[in-house]
Amino acid sequence: MTEQFNNKNIFEYNFLKKISFITFAVLGILLFIGIILYYYFALSKIDNFFINSINFIINNIKTQITQLTALGAFYTTLFGGLFFIPLPTEILFFAFLKKGVMPFALVLIYVLGFTISFTFNYLVGTKLSNISKKIIRPKKFYKIKVAVNKYGMATVFAFNVLPLPAQPLSAVLGVFKYNKTKFYIAFILGQLIKFSIIALAYFYIL
């Protein structure tokens, strides 16, 4: 019986064990490489899809604004109302009127877009006051602060009814947690009056 367990038998046993180990190791490495390659190409497709989707959205926004559509008017105030994206919203209002967008509908579209963007500005000012202070120039920031402290709601109304920087104002009001009811009443009323006057002036004076 001892002869069955000679050196040769032991060598053959170790050889098979080594072959098995190497085979499984190679298969494991190949599987690992396969998984890496799969996720690489899968994520590349996801990235391309994401990038293409972003480009599509941006191009659509640009097209709607440049073609002066009603949707473009909404985009103008939705993005132009943000305190960090300057857009000549009053000048573009004339362009939309000239293009043929109905004045009453255009005023409402503008107010709706500004309501969304100004709300965003206010919330950013409330939650991220330090960032807001860095984005808005210090001189402008404290100038607005002094005006609001001195004249209150009248300042909010004036900034919106006149061609003044109402966008940064809405962020500054968020920083100081200005009364939301007064904020919405003053800015919506100001925007309604301003663009209604512009629409009337376009059709009856210009």
Q: Domains of the chain: which residue ranges?
A: 2-53, 68-204
Strand (E) or helix (H) holding 24: helix 7-66
pLDDT of 47: 55
Average pLDDT over residues 107-119: 95
Q: Give the integer Cα–Cα distance in Å for 49 and 20.
A: 43
pLDDT of residue 20: 55
Q: Which residue has the higher pLDDT, 136 or 93?
A: 93
C-beta separation of 113 from 74 below 8 A: yes
Determine how many CB atoms are found less than 10 A away from the CB of residue 186.
24
Q: Which amino acid is at 113?
A: G
* Phi-psi map region of 165: left, alpha, beta (phi>0 left; psi -120 to 50 alpha): beta
Q: What is the pLDDT of residues 85-108, one digit of tens each?
A: 888 899 999 999 999 999 999 999
Separation between Cα atoms, residue 88 and residue 82, nearest integer Å: 12
Alpha carbons 51 and 56: distance in angstroms, whole number: 9
- Give the pLDDT confidence score for residue 17 in this predicted structure: 53
For 159-182, give one letter per residue: b (16+ CB within 10 A) or e: bbbeeeebbbbbbbbbbeebeeee
- Predicted TM-score (pTM) above 0.75: no
* Structural tokens at position 193: 């009056």
pLDDT tens, residue by residue, 151-199: 889 999 999 999 888 998 999 899 888 999 999 999 999 999 999 999 9
Please tell me which residue, 139 or 189, carries the higher pLDDT value. Answer: 189
Least Cα distance to 95 among 68, 113, 72 occurs for 68
